[in-house]
């Protein structure tokens, strides 16, 4: 008899970078609700501390806050040492922290901007994943989830350094999955447009234009990424590794395959 999938994270420790706001906060809340003890890390310690207190109060799960600038390579190993000294293990790592500075045009992109974007979105992720995956392999294994963007496969001029870095992150996902299996699984979630703090700066016209390009005709709510995260983090996803899962409202669906609200339907 086929057993129902096991989505429980009871007894697990989940580390989420950028876990204090936006998608990271939604993931942290969802992981705690599924039973995990969560570790929130970002360069703004006060934001993480407030989020950890909120999560502990609402879920009854332990939540911890740590300061970490993922773009600063020398900070990463001491951070990992502190987490393992305090908690003893990490079963789930979610590489969520990212940045995408705006610029007027491509010729205005400076070397400093380029280096910062790659340090946060790719270089630091590589270092943190290497250190945590090594410990996971020596322990009970685990799951690593990289938060990328659909822009990695559909890059646009207004965020080219960011999407280039995320395309690199997609490549790291496949390489790490081959390197650290079978005890550790590594997957990517390619996120589409979500109603986060970044979206709060969009005009209504821009938001409507973005939504019009999606088969679902709306942007996502942060809570709507949680199901995919729980699947990949838990035993339910134990046969999934090296995958890139688009959670994007259908943005990555090729236009000639997308079903629009034009009276079209399938029958039979």
Active site residues: 162
Report the alpha-carbon distance of residue 79 to residue 86 in Å, rounded. Answer: 11
Q: How many CB atoms lie within 10 A of CB 227?
A: 12
Contact by Cβ (8 Å): 16, 41: yes
Residue 14: phi, psi to the nearest 5?
A: -115, 125
Q: Buried b / exposed e across 247-266, counting CB within 10 Å, b at 16+?
A: bbbbbbeeeeeeeeeeeeee
Report the alpha-carbon distance of residue 50 to residue 31 in Å, rounded. Answer: 17
């Amino acid at each position: 008899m086929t057993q129902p999938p096991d989505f429980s994270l009871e007894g697990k420790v989940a580390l989420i970078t950028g876990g204090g706001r936006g998608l990271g906060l939604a993931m942290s809340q969802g992981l705690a609700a599924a039973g995990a003890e969560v570790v929130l890390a970002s360069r703004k310690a006060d934001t993480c501390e407030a989020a950890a207190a909120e999560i502990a109060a609402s879920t009854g799960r332990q939540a911890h806050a740590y300061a970490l600038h993922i773009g600063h390579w020398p900070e990463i190993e001491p951070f990992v040492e502190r987490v393992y000294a305090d908690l003893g293990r990490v079963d789930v790592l979610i590489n969520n922290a990212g940045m995408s500075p705006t610029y007027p045009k491509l010729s205005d992109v400076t070397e400093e901007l380029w280096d910062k974007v790659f340090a946060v979105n790719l270089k630091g992720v590589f270092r943190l994943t290497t250190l945590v995956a090594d410990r996971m392999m020596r322990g009970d294994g685990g799951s690593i989830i990289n938060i990328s963007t659909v822009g990695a496969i559909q890059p646009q001029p207004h965020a080219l350094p960011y999407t280039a870095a995320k395309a690199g992150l997609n490549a790291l996902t496949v390489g790490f999955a081959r390197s650290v299996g079978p005890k550790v699984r590594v997957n990517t979630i390619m996120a589409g447009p979500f109603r986060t703090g970044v979206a709060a700066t969009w005009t209504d016209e821009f938001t409507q234009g973005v939504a019009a390009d999606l088969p679902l005709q709306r942007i996502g709510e942060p809570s709507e990424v949680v199901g995919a995260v729980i699947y990949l983090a838990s035993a339910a996803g134990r046969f999934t590794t090296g995958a890139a899962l688009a959670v994007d409202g259908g943005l990555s669906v090729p236009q000639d395959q997308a079903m629009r609200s034009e009276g079209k339907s399938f029958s039979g």
